């Protein structure tokens, strides 16, 4: 979050008056941007310019850490944990055991119950991690 904020401030500095404004701080940047907006004949132009700067900041930050020429293999989620990975493997293992059990109906029913119980625990763990991450994100000091 701080990295995005710094990138946006840097981009706004470039819009306001070039790159040599770091020592004057955010308050000065805010005043300069306000003056620039007031001088523009059309407010829509100012809004478009600021929106473009925000989009540029976000896009450059997102592509900054990506290796050139390669798209990410998969998108990760911030709430995923190593414990969820272990549980996913266990659920898949129990599902495969259940599906491959043939001929012995009693054993198949036992494995089906184990699989369904494991699957329910896994779903509960996912919901819990999502909620905990959401709470920690909202309660994060700014």
- What pLDDT digit, counting tens, does each position of 45-81 carry? 777 777 777 777 677 666 665 555 566 667 778 889 9
C-alpha pair distances (Å), 38 with each of 20, 45, 91, 93: 22, 11, 60, 64
pLDDT of residue 20: 47
CA 16 from chain centre, in angstroms, equals 29
CA dihedral (47, 48, 51, 52) positive or negative: negative
Residue 29: which residues within 8 A CB-CB, separation 6 or more? Answer: 9, 12, 13, 16, 21
CA 50 from chain centre, in angstroms, equals 23
Between 125 and 35, whose confidence is greater?
125
Sketch the domain layout of the chain as residue ranges: 2-64, 82-138
Per the CB < 8 A criterion, the answer to whether 98 and 108 are in contact is: yes
What predicted TM-score, i.e. pTM, was given to this entire model?
0.48
Whether 123 has a pLDDT exceeding 80, the answer reads yes
């Amino acid at each position: 979050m701080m990295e995005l904020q710094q990138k946006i401030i840097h981009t706004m500095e470039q819009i306001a008056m070039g790159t040599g404004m770091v020592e004057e701080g955010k308050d000065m940047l805010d005043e300069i941007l306000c003056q620039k907006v007031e001088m523009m004949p059309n407010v829509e132009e100012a809004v478009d310019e600021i929106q473009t700067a925000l989009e540029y900041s976000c896009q450059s930050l997102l592509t900054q850490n990506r290796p050139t020429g390669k798209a990410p293999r998969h998108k990760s989620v911030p709430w995923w944990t190593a414990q969820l990975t272990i549980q996913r493997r266990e659920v898949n293992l129990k599902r495969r055991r259940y599906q491959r059990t043939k001929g012995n109906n009693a054993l198949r029913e036992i494995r089906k119950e184990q699989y369904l119980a494991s699957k329910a625990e896994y779903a509960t763990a996912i919901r819990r991690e999502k909620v905990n991450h959401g709470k920690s994100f909202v309660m994060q000091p700014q």
